[in-house]
Homo-oligomer: A and B are copies of this chain.
Amino acid sequence: MSYTAELIAVGTELLLGNIANTDAQMLSKGLSALGINVYYHTVVGDNPARLKQAVQIAKERADIIITTGGLGPTYDDLTKNVLAEAFGKKLVYHEQSAARIRAYFDRVRREMTENNLQQAMLPEGCTVFDNDWGTAPGCAFEADGVGVIMLPGPPGECSAMFQYRAAPYLQSRSEGVILSRTLRIFGMGEAALEAKLRDRMNAMTNPTLAPYAKTGEVELRITAGAKDEAQAAALITPVEAELRGMFGDLVYGADVNSLEEALLPMLRDRGLTFGCAESCTGGLIAKRMTDCPGASAVFRGGIVSYVNTVKENLLAVPAVLLERHGAVSAPVAECMAQGARRALDCDLAVAATGVAGPDSDERGNSVGTVFIALAAPGGVWVRQLTLGFGRDRIRNLAASHAFDMTRRYLCGLTVV
């Protein structure tokens, strides 16, 4: 049988719009991968009466309630007090958690106040989730036929506490295991992919298949439930093979976070270095590459040539070429990539030039016109793109295409 969960986020900062409820997104994704259906998210402020009401509503309609936030010392332990009361539990002092909190303050050499020790008060008989990423411990208990899990609010803590504490706890209490594998696909829209897969997806029950769209990409998550990990993996393997057969070289990786993250080990393992020349992307290709820890093993650098004279001086793009074709053109993209390869002394270099908007350029190239080039030992390739509207979107898609061309080159696929 499948359980339903309701997420309750506690924090006035959410109701003021100070932050978005990204904890709910992370948990929803994680719970769905565990085969748990999330039916409601609720957000309430730091207000005991309104939290109590939200908990009472959730108790009636969910098998599992997961709260985020309201555990810090400045909240007067709002969430723990209200949840304990709603489920008729007492809060008791948990010595081990108190010791952890003391040790934390020693480590960061900050003074601990009595308030901080309040965090060691936990519902009697609960399972304590040690917090290695902050001070407030999380916890879980079952009462009145409902499972309750409380997690800290700061996204970094919440995410780690879910992954390493709550998810294993939920798995240990379910009869089997849930395993999931995520294939990442670049170069096909969500609508096209869904059209291709709809009948297949609807017919599947175990494993299930869920698509997640991102800018220019689709994630395809296969989730299987079984008695043990080996059996779950055995359910996933043929579906993965079928999907890889279906989408072929559009699949760039499994269980990776981004194109650039997939690219990094491919370059590193072959001892190849990478660099870039950027006009419309304005540093985004370099930024995304260096978002990956360990990028320094392959990434030598980049040249952001936002104006033509920088293209001429640092990338040796001939003035006559800029004059004849304009900066937004295939020949200039090509020259930029070759120039970056020479100037940065790297094995592979990509270049991006285009119109990110909001206005079209002085030569009448419309917003979204972008040329991406790759210069590599075997030659130079240029991809011409028409990327629609939205400055951020265009820039992100352009960077993704640069990574995609590099990946396809390294895999021996057609690059353009």
Contact = CB atoms under 8 A, between A and B. Distances in A.
Interface string A11-46: 000111111111011111111100001111111110
Nearest to A156: B390
Given A25-B17, A41-B41, A290 B282 contact: yes
16 contacts: A15-B38, A17-B32, A17-B38, A18-B29, A20-B24, A24-B43, A41-B43, A278-B286, A282-B287, A282-B289, A283-B290, A284-B290, A293-B358, A301-B304, A302-B304, A313-B343
Given A15-B38, A21-B21, A213-B18, A300 B293 contact: no
Contacts of A307: 296, 299-301
Interface string A369-390: 0000000000000000000001
Interface size bucket, A side?
A: 35 or more
A285 interface: yes
A44 B210 CA distance: 18
A352 to B, nearest CB: 12
Given A19-B25, A281-B287, A300-B310, 11 more contacts: A18-B29, A20-B21, A39-B47, A282-B291, A282-B299, A287-B287, A290-B304, A293-B391, A299-B306, A302-B303, A313-B345
A75 interface: no
A295 B306 contact: yes
User: Can you tell how many copies of this chain the complex includes?
Assistant: 2
Contacts of A156: 390
B17 A20 contact: no
Contact of A210 (B16, B57, B285, B287): B16
A144 B291 CA distance: 52
A300 B289 CA distance: 22
Interface in A51-69: 53-54, 57, 61
Contact of A302 (B32, B43, B283, B290): B283
A28 B44 contact: no
A303 B304 contact: yes
